Amino acid sequence: KDAYQTTDLVTSTVGLTRTPQEAELLGNIVTKKDTLILDPFVKDMVLEFPPIYYEYNKWDITKASEVILDDMVKTLNEHPSILVELGSHTDARGTQRYNDTLSQRRAESAVEYILSKGIDPSRITAKGYGERVPKTLEKDTLGFQAGTQLTHTLLEKIEKTDNEKAELGYQLNRRTEFKIVGFIEKPVTPGQSI
C-alpha cells in the first residue's frame, strides 16, 4: 500500500492447537491468526537504515555505503509516493563554515549515487547539517550508553583519557540519515506515461 512501510514477518504454528470444534471442521491443519497492522510512513520520519559513515574530511561513497544506498533505492522503488531528504552530518572538528560545506558534499554524493540508479530527482534532496546535530544514541553503542548525545564537548573530554573511544564517537557523528519529508499525491511509476 502506498505510503505504508513494507515489513516481513516470520511466524510459526509450532505449539498451537485447535479447539475441538475447529479440529472437527478443519481436520488436523493448524492455523495461526495474526492481526496485521499497517504502519504508515509519516513526514519527518527517519527510516531505519544503517547509517552511511564517512572518513574524516571525506565525502566519498564507500562500498559498504553502496549496499545501504542500494537498499534505499529499493525502498524508493517500492514506495513511489515518498519524498526523501538525505541529511548529512560532520563531527565538530574544523570550522562551522567548513563543516557546512563538507556535510553538503556528503549529502550530494549520496544523492548522486541514488539518482544514478534511476530515481526521479524531484523525489530526493540533499541537506548538509554540518556539526549542528550531534548523534544521540538510541542503544548502547561502542562503549557509549543509550541516550548519550555525542557533543564535541563530551568527545573532547573523552579524548583526554581514551583517544580510541573519542574517535569512535566522532565517527558516529559523520553520517547520513534518510528522512521522509513528504508524499506525492499520485505517484508515477517508472515507465508510466502521464
Query: What would the pLDDT profile of 55-78 be if each residue is shown by its tens digit?
Result: 999 999 999 999 999 999 999 998
Supply the pTM of this predicted model. 0.73
pLDDT digits (tens, 9 = 90+) for 14-69: 556 666 665 555 555 555 555 555 556 666 666 677 889 999 999 999 999 999 99
Which residues are within 8 A (CB) of 14 and not within 5 positions of it... i.e. 6 or more apart? none
**Residue type for 25, please?**
L
Q: Strands 82-88, 124-128: parallel, antiparallel or unpaired by DSSP? A: parallel
CB atoms within 10 A of CB 84: 23
pLDDT reported for residue 104: 98
Task: For residue 171, give Cα distances in angstroms to 85, 93, 155.
Answer: 21, 11, 11
pLDDT digits (tens, 9 = 90+) for 71-130: 999 999 988 888 999 999 999 999 999 999 999 999 999 999 999 999 999 999 999 999
pLDDT reported for residue 51: 81
pLDDT reported for residue 168: 94
Q: Which pLDDT band, with edges at 50, 70 and 90, does 161 fall under?
A: very high
Name residue, grid cell 562551522: 96
